[in-house]
Amino acid sequence: MKEEQEPIKKVNEPNLIPQLTIDCVVFGFHDGNLKILLLKWKGTKGWSLPGSIVMQDESIDDAANRILKERTGLSDLFLRQFHTFGEVKRYNIAKHSKMLAHLIEKNLWFERAISIGYYALVDYTEVFPRPDEFSDACEWWELEELPTILFDHKKIIQKALQSLRLELNFQPVGYNLLPKKFSMPELQRLYEAILGKKIDPRNFQKKILKTGVVNRLNEVKKGVAHRAPFLYSFDCKKYQQVLEEGGLFFS
Amino acid sequence: MKEEQEPIKKVNEPNLIPQLTIDCVVFGFHDGNLKILLLKWKGTKGWSLPGSIVMQDESIDDAANRILKERTGLSDLFLRQFHTFGEVKRYNIAKHSKMLAHLIEKNLWFERAISIGYYALVDYTEVFPRPDEFSDACEWWELEELPTILFDHKKIIQKALQSLRLELNFQPVGYNLLPKKFSMPELQRLYEAILGKKIDPRNFQKKILKTGVVNRLNEVKKGVAHRAPFLYSFDCKKYQQVLEEGGLFFS
Nearest CB among B86, B162, B247 relative to A165 is that of B247
Nearest CB among A57, A88, A162 relative to B59 is that of A88
For an interface test with B, which of A158, A169, A245 has the most B Cβ atoms less than 10 Å from its Cβ? Answer: A169
B82 vs B220: which has the higher pLDDT: B82
CB atoms closer than 10 angstroms to residue A228: 13
Closest alpha carbon within chain B to A204: B250
Q: Residue A180: what pLDDT?
A: 84
User: What class does CATH assign to A16-167?
Assistant: alpha beta
Is A148:A157 a contact under the CB 8 Å cutoff?
Answer: no
B206-217 tens-digit pLDDT: 888 887 788 999
Q: Residue A179: what pLDDT?
A: 80
Residue B179 burial by Cβ neighbours in a 10 Å radius (0-12, 13-18, 19+): exposed
Contact A247 B191 (CB under 8 A): no
Is B67:B52 a contact under the CB 8 Å cutoff?
Answer: yes
Closest alpha carbon within chain B to A116: B84
CB atoms closer than 10 angstroms to residue B7: 5
Secondary structure (DSSP) of chain A = -PPP-PPPPPTT-TTEEEEEEEEEEEEEEETTEEEEEEEEETTSS-EE--EEEEETTS-HHHHHHHHHHHHHS--S-EEEEEEEE--TTSS-TTTTHHHHHHHHHTTSS-SS-EEEEEEEEEEGGG------TTEEEEEEEEGGG---B-TTHHHHHHHHHHHHHHHTTTS-TTGGGS-SSEEHHHHHHHHHHHHTS---HHHHHHHHHHHT-EEEEEEE-TT--SSPPEEEEE-HHHHHHHHHHT-STT-
Contact B12 A17 (CB under 8 A): no
DSSP state of B69: H
Per-residue pLDDT tens listing for chain A (251 residues): 444 544 444 445 569 999 999 999 999 998 888 999 999 999 899 999 999 999 999 999 999 999 999 999 988 888 999 999 999 999 887 888 888 888 888 877 888 999 999 999 998 888 889 998 889 999 999 998 999 999 999 999 999 998 998 887 777 777 777 888 899 998 899 988 888 888 888 888 888 888 778 899 999 888 877 888 899 998 878 877 777 776 666 54
Is A149:A51 a contact under the CB 8 Å cutoff?
Answer: no
What's the gap in Å between the CA of A202 and the closest CA on chain B?
A: 12
B191-208 tens-digit pLDDT: 898 888 888 888 888 888
Least confident of A102-106, A240-244, B41-45, B139-143: A240-244
What's the gap in Å between the CA of B83 and the closest CA on chain A?
A: 7
Task: Grade residue B246 by pLDDT with cuts at 50, 70 and 90.
Answer: low
User: What class does CATH assign to A175-245?
Assistant: mainly alpha
Q: Residue A14: what pLDDT?
A: 62
**Does the pLDDT at position B3 exceed 60?**
no
Is B25:B34 a contact under the CB 8 Å cutoff?
Answer: no
What's the gap in Å between the CA of A13 and the closest CA on chain B?
A: 12
**Does the pLDDT at position B1 exceed 60?**
no
What's the gap in Å between the CA of B156 and the closest CA on chain A?
A: 15
Q: Residue B11: what pLDDT?
A: 44
What's the gap in Å between the CA of A143 and the closest CA on chain B?
A: 16
- What Å distances lie between residue A33 and A49, A116, B22, B50, B251, CA to CA? 19, 26, 38, 44, 21
Task: Round to whole Å and give the CA distance between A203 and B104.
Answer: 57
Secondary structure (DSSP) of A133-156 = TTEEEEEEEEGGG---B-TTHHHH
State the pTM of this model. Answer: 0.88
Fold equal for B16-167 and B175-245: no
Nearest CB among A57, A84, A245 relative to B60 is that of A84
Q: Residue A9: what pLDDT?
A: 42
Contact A86 B114 (CB under 8 A): no
- What Å distances lie between residue B186 and A2, A233, B193, B204, CA to CA? 79, 39, 11, 12
Q: State percent of chain B over pLDDT 70.
A: 91
**Does the pLDDT at position B38 exceed 90?**
yes
Chain A residues inside the 8 Å CB shell of B243: 162, 166
Label the pairing between strands A182-183 and B114-123.
unpaired
Nearest CB among B57, B86, B165 relative to A246 is that of B165
Contact A249 B19 (CB under 8 A): no
- What Å distances lie between residue A89 and A35, A202, B45, CA to CA? 28, 47, 40
Q: Residue A7: what pLDDT?
A: 46
Residue B241 touches chain A, beta carbons under 8 Å: no
Contact A245 B195 (CB under 8 A): yes
Phi (first) and psi of residue A183, to 5 degrees: -90, 160
Phi (first) and psi of residue B154, to 5 degrees: -65, -40
- What Å distances lie between residue A223 and A88, A104, A227, A228, A230, CA to CA? 56, 57, 11, 8, 12
Nearest to A119 by CA among A143, A137, A99: A143
Domain boundaries, chain B: 16-167, 175-245
